[in-house]
Chains A and B, each alone.
Chain A
Amino acid sequence: MIDWFAFASVAAASLVAACSLVATYALGVRLMSSTSDVLPRTRRLTAIVCFAVCGALVLFGIYLVVPALHGG
């Protein structure tokens, strides 16, 4: 019959991955959008770190998609 454990792990993994990606990106967007013209340096740096984390997550996604990269 149905593999409920596999189902639960898919649901949990999707939730964690999607929410961490969206939260990190949203944080980056918020830090970058400012009413003043000049962003403080730390704020800009934190935003860049956020986007870098998102980029890493997307690259991990590509790694999972391409079987040649992980020996599938």
Chain B
Amino acid sequence: MDITLVVALVIALALFFDFTNGFHDTANAMATPIATGALRPKVAVAIAAVLNLVGAFLSTEVARTISGGLIREGDGGVQITPLMIFAGLIGAIVWNMVTWLFGLPSSSSHALFGGLIGAVVVGAGFGAIDGGVLLSKVVLPALLAPVIACSVAFLATRLAYLIAARSDSAQGGFRYGQVFTSSLVSLAHGTNDAQKTMGVITLTLVAAGFQTAGTGPEFWVIVVCALAIALGTYMGGWRIIRTIGTRITDIAAPQGFAAEASTAATILASSHLGFALSTTQVASGSVIGAGLGRDVRSVRWRVAGRIAVAWLITLPAAGAVAALAELVARLGVIGVAIDAIVGVGVTVFIFIRSRRTVVAHHNVTAAAESGERPKAARGKAVVR
């Protein structure tokens, strides 16, 4: 099969993945300021989009390996072919679309890793996967990230209420502060996430012989990746914003400020002290912690539980889809064509399905269905 065609397909898929990554993660920074009214929904996503665009150009730390060591790639290990990357990206995209439809904040990095693992296992066998790295870089951090973020946000929220009390006049002050903390989270996201796609495209170009090994990403790669993630971010991913901003718990301005401060602090600390944590999991954990900090009964554990389940199955689910795609792709040109058509078909189907219950900037903060109201919120007014 023509290698140029495969590379072109991989680049197209990688950019689409970058786009889904963008709208999947808008919520990490912007769900709480939207929920408290600190920023109007459209303004919030515009700020997040610009900061992601800027962030993509600011950081030059592009991943040196596609999988971050999960797969024994390179010398002495398996050779990751552009076809495997193609199948892996299909798995990651399909899973990102499915979780978006259900409004579940799952980690885009885990979807990408899972997809690549699935494709490589089919292509090169289980021996190609480094189980120790999988445990220490994906599984344990996924369990610890929400715990750290939740504890930090819990204490920060307690402090905020302790010091500034629950007076109404304090609310405005915290709303103003939210603009800064959420922007910081957005910028941190931009410097991290677009780099993943740049890495995937660059390593594909290297594998196909279009670029010298060991060189950084081409300038056009940086530009298109930055644009793709910024455009995705601007689309908003309103379903996930609704889940984090209003479904887990009802967020008031001091809680939102404390949650974002905790998210920003945890992400910055994790990327600088060498213990990588998922932005999505940190942000969700912070919101739960902020809910507990104000009122223990205000957290809807059913929603939190659904999110936790999504985290657990993200890697295997994306892997299963990618494994299937890789099996089909091995048929040759026909297989790749089937993959591409089915992939586009699933994406379009999910999009059409999503139109049945539209969630967008106009109704993103609408109250949750009565069945999901926590006991604390029933009967008496919620302190906001």
Task: Say whether B60 contacts A10, CB under 8 Å.
Answer: no
For B298, the chain A residues whose CB sits under 8 A away are none
Q: Which of A2, A3, A29, A64 is the one whose CB lies under 8 Å from B268?
A: A64
Task: Say whether B187 contacts A28, CB under 8 Å.
Answer: no
Q: Looking at the complex, which of B1-9, B116-124, B169-177, B305-313 is the stretch in contact with chain A?
A: B169-177
For A49, the chain B residues whose CB sits under 8 A away are none
Q: Across the two chains, which residue of chain A brings its CB closest to B167?
A: A33
- B253-273 residues with Cβ-Cβ distance < 8 A to A are 254, 257-258, 261-262, 264-266, 268-270, 272-273
For B61, the chain A residues whose CB sits under 8 A away are 67, 72
Interface flags, B268-297, vs A, CB<8A=1, else 0: 111011110100000000000000000000
Task: Say whether A18 contacts B60, CB under 8 Å.
Answer: no
Task: Say whether A11 contacts B148, CB under 8 Å.
Answer: yes
Q: How far is the CB of B57 from chain A (nearest CB, A)?
A: 10
Task: Say whether A13 contacts B163, CB under 8 Å.
Answer: no
- A1-51 residues with Cβ-Cβ distance < 8 A to B are 1-3, 6-7, 9-11, 13-15, 17-19, 21-23, 25-30, 32-33
Q: How far is the CB of A6 from chain B (nearest CB, A)?
A: 4
For B60, the chain A residues whose CB sits under 8 A away are 67-68
- B184-198 residues with Cβ-Cβ distance < 8 A to A are 184, 187-188, 191
Identify which of B160, B173, B261, B275 gathers the most chain A CB atoms within 10 Å of its CB.
B261
Is residue A54 within 8 Å, beta carbon to beta carbon, of the partner chain? yes
Interface of B, secondary structure class, is helix
Q: Across the two chains, which residue of chain B brings its CB closest to A66?
A: B58
Q: How far is the CB of A51 from chain B (nearest CB, A)?
A: 9
Task: Say whether A61 contacts B277, CB under 8 Å.
Answer: no
Task: Say whether B273 contacts A66, CB under 8 Å.
Answer: no
Task: Say whether B164 contacts A26, CB under 8 Å.
Answer: yes
Task: Say whether B164 contacts A58, CB under 8 Å.
Answer: no
Q: How far is the CA of A32 from the CA of B167 in the complex (A)?
A: 12
Task: Say whether B140 contacts A18, CB under 8 Å.
Answer: no
Q: How far is the CA of A11 from the CA of B270 in the complex (A)?
A: 8
Q: Which of B167, B261, B272 is the one whose CB lies under 8 Å from A64?
A: B272
> Are A18 and B262 also in contact (CB < 8 A) when A6-B275, A61-B268, A68-B58 are?
yes
Is residue A62 within 8 Å, beta carbon to beta carbon, of the partner chain? yes
The list of the 6 closest CB pairs from A to B, nearest first, reads A29-B173, A33-B169, A26-B163, A17-B265, A18-B265, A13-B269
Interface residues of A (CB under 8 A from B): 1-3, 6-7, 9-11, 13-15, 17-19, 21-23, 25-30, 32-33, 54-55, 58, 61-62, 64-68, 72
Question: What are 18 A-B contacts defined by CB distance under 8 Å?
Answer: A2-B135, A3-B274, A10-B269, A11-B152, A14-B149, A14-B152, A15-B151, A15-B155, A17-B261, A18-B152, A18-B262, A25-B257, A26-B174, A54-B177, A61-B264, A65-B55, A65-B58, A67-B60
